[in-house]
Structures are given as C-alpha cells and as structure tokens.
Amino acid sequence: MNEERVLATYLIETPYSLEYAAAVMAGEQSTGTFVAVPGETAFIKETYGAKVVRITELEPALTPSLPGVKPPKEEANLVFRRGEVVLSFPYHNFGPSIPNLLATVAGNLYELREFSGLRLIDLEVPVQFTEKYLGPQFGIEGTRRLTAVNGRPLIGTIVKPSIGLALDDLRGLVRELALAGIDFIKDDELNGNPPYVPLKDRVKAVMEEIERAADKTGKKVMYAFNITGDIDELRENHDAVVKAGGNCVMVGINSIGFAGVSYLRQFAEVPIHGHRNQWGAMTRCPALGMEFRVYQKLSRLAGVDHLHTNGLNNKFFESNESVTRSVQDCLTPMFRGNDTVMPVLSSGQWAGTAIESYRSMKTVDVLHLAGGGIMAHPGGVAAGVTSMKQGWEAALGGQSLAEYAMTHAELAQAIEKFGRP
C-alpha cells in the first residue's frame, strides 16, 4: 500500500487509444483543464498530477455503451477500446475526506466525452486516510455479542407490509416474532418517520414488546429502527432509540450520503445497519458508476456495521455470483485488523436459500433476512422463523433440504410454499 497516493481502478471504453484516454482522465481529475494554462508548471504537474499506473487492454466493442462520446475525427470504422486502467492520485490533493476524495475519483470524469464507458471498480486509500474515519464500531463480533448468536447466521426479518401497519398490528407482529426466537427485525427502507405513525411512537411500542418478550425468553431481539432523515434528525432519532433501550439503527446510506453515515458514526451507541437502496442507479449500467467493491469500502470507512448485499436468487437484477462476491468483499479485512462488516442477505429469501448460500459463501457470518419468507409462511410467522433456522441446520449439518424437511414440518411447509418449480 502506497502511503502517499490513492489508487483508483477503472473499466474504460473509448474510441481513442487507451493511453490517450487514461491521460485525459489523469489530467482532468488533477491539474489540467481543456487548454494549457500558464500556471500549470512542470513542478505542479509533477507534485499534484495524477499518474497512470497500469493499463490492461480488454476485448473491444463495436458500439458505444454510453451516448455522447466524441470520436477522433480521422477514424472511419470506429472501435471502442476497452481496458482496465489504474490511476494514482497524490493524497495531499484532498487529504482525509471522503466527500473530497469522491470529487477526484468519481467526479466529472463520468461526463468526459472521450469515453463511451467509465466505471470505478476498485479503490485503495492510504492508512493515514483511514485514520480520520472511525470505521465499524460493532461489526460482526459486536453484533454477535449483542444478540448472543454464535456458530450460525443471525436470522432476521423485515416488517411487512413495508408501510401502513397500525401500531397495534406492529406490536402483535413483533411480539410473535420475538417469542418465536427471531434474532433480528428491521423496518423497511420505505418506512422512516411517516406522519401516520411517527418513528418515536414506533420505537416506544416496539421496544416495549421486545423487552416484554425478553423477560419471558431471556433473549433480546435486535431491532434496526429506520432513522433515516435529515442531518439534525439523525441524532434526535438515534437518541430516541437508545433511550428506549433499542440496540440498532438503520439508515439508507445513499439517502444521507457517506457524510451522513460518518456523522452518525461519531455518536452512535448501537450498530449501524446500512441499507443500500438507490444503489441500483449507481451500478446497474455496466459501463457507468461503480462496483460494490468500492461502495462497501467507503461504507465501512464511514462506519456501517451491517451492509446489504442482496441474497441468492433475489427478486432483483443481480446475479448470484455478484452477490457472493459482495459478501466476500464485506468479510475481507480492509485496513485495521477488525474492520469487516456483517453482510445482509435480503430480497426473496426463505428457508430454502440457506443451503445454497452456505455452499457459495462458505461462511456463517451473515445476517439472513426473510421478509415474505417468514411473514407469508403457511404455518404463521413463528413457523417461518423456525423454518429459517432449520434451513441453516440442514446447511451446517451437510444435509439436503429435502432430507431435513422429512423430519422438520416447518421447513417442509416452506418448501411447498416458496420452493421454485
């Protein structure tokens, strides 16, 4: 790791030579502009200029992936060259600041007309950069400590319907889930602080139910309250959760920005559950935006403890390979010894996805969320929770789903309801 420079890796597509295109990126994002200016001395270029570290040529394309590219005049049969380019930026151009780093590594360069594709795929920052940011406070170990769950994934759910549940119905649902032995419950990302049931009323009702159930079962459910809101509200909402005995807060990372997350991290007393809604807009076009590898690094630096990764066979566009890679990224130490975060498997999950998840991810350090997969279980919510645990028992015991279901009714019911044809 270079201590003085940030390394940014891109996939690019351009009708120019890869060398020329990489030089344009380096110039635009450091000392250059569209014409030479008198003050851009050799000293400034050498001291503050970005450098092209490596270019790896890939298979070219015959049509541009993005509109607005301006090809060089001389060429008749255009080829859009593709390559992986590593640039290095002097750390002293921006210092330890995610917001200012973003303007450099992910700023105007997306708009450059020399490119028909530009995607940030990896990022490495010096240790001195990371010292400004607190990183995950609880992470996997702290989450396990708070929930007393070891040797298996945390099983969780998302309150459904996402929106509109009356307070009494929410109470009943939380009570049922807590008594059924669920580890974790979260609000939906759509449910923040709506006028029809303000967050503070939800916190009070939910925590009463959780404490009451804990008195009976000896197990206190972790509940991630969606405290997403404007900056001032983050502290107010966080404090309301903590004061009521709550043990987790959730935020939409893209709704409050990395700046909002690192602000929250400074005073957070409980784990921060990072939801990534809006992420699709940043990543679904393969020639634009950024890879999850970069996103999860920035989210971890800013201080989330849990991070959504999708689950296998999800209801979204993402492939299973991509989900598995995301999980592995979250579990890879980055800077400090213990800065991994708990990947959150979610979307279209049910008991049957446990075996496949364990086979491809090879870890129990995940938070496995089933919304419909628990709520819509034919035997009811408690049976839904039990079926999820059974799915993981089968996975960890090396048994097939069908085999384990023969002696476990809730799992059998889940297969009948959710099993794919």
Instruction: Please give the residues from 396 up to 415 whose contact with its own copies meets the rule CB under 8 A.
Output: none
- Does 127 contact its own copies by CB under 8 A? no
- Min CB(148)–its own copies separation in Å: 28
Please pick, from the candidates 9, 14, 88, 93, the single residue that binds its own copies as defined by CB under 8 A: 93
Report strand pairing: 117-124 vs 5-14.
antiparallel
- Does 419 contact its own copies by CB under 8 A? no
Interface characters, 229-258, with its own copies (x: CB under 8 A): xxxxx------------------x-xxxx-
- Min CB(269)–its own copies separation in Å: 18
Considering the complex, state which of residue 364 and residue 388 has its C-beta at the smaller distance from its own copies.
Answer: 388
Convert 295-327 to b/e letters by CB count within 10 Å (16 or more is b).
bbbbbbbbbbbbbbbbbbbbeeebeeeebbbbb
Distance CA 340, CA 136 (A): 7
Distance CA 112, CA 103 (A): 14
- Min CB(345)–its own copies separation in Å: 14
Residues touching its own copies: how many (CB under 8 A)? 100
- Does 312 contact its own copies by CB under 8 A? no
- CA quadruple 248, 256, 313, 186: dihedral, nearest 10: 20
- Min CB(379)–its own copies separation in Å: 12
Considering the complex, state which of residue 34 and residue 218 has its C-beta at the smaller distance from its own copies.
Answer: 34
Please pick, from the candidates 61, 137, 316, 325, the single residue that binds its own copies as defined by CB under 8 A: 316
Where do we find the tokens 């900056």? 231
Piece of 14-22, 93-101, 201-209, 214-222 that binds its own copies (CB under 8 A): 93-101
- Does 164 contact its own copies by CB under 8 A? yes
Q: Rounded to whole angstroms, what are the CA distances from 131 to 263, 264, 268, 298?
A: 15, 17, 18, 13
Piece of 212-220, 277-285, 358-366, 386-394 that binds its own copies (CB under 8 A): 277-285
- Does 112 contact its own copies by CB under 8 A? yes
Task: DSSP letter for 196, please.
Answer: T
- Min CB(2)–its own copies separation in Å: 16
Residues 23-82 that bind its own copies (CB under 8 A): 29-40, 44, 47-48, 66-70
Furthest-apart CA pair in the chain: how many Å?
80
Q: Rounded to whole angstroms, what are the CA distances from 239 to 10, 209, 231, 302?
A: 40, 19, 13, 19
Piece of 108-116, 207-215, 332-340, 357-365 that binds its own copies (CB under 8 A): 108-116
Q: One-letter amino acid identity for 78?
A: L
Piece of 7-15, 79-87, 206-214, 276-284 that binds its own copies (CB under 8 A): 276-284
Q: Got the DSSP string for 33-65?
A: -SS--TT--HHHHHHH--EEEEEEEEEEESS-S
Residues 346-405 that bind its own copies (CB under 8 A): 347-348, 371-372, 375-376
Piece of 12-20, 51-59, 228-236, 406-414 that binds its own copies (CB under 8 A): 228-236
- Give the closest residue to 154 by CA, choosing from 365, 359, 333, 420: 365
- Min CB(18)–its own copies separation in Å: 19
Task: DSSP letter for 108, please.
Answer: G
Residues in the chain: 421
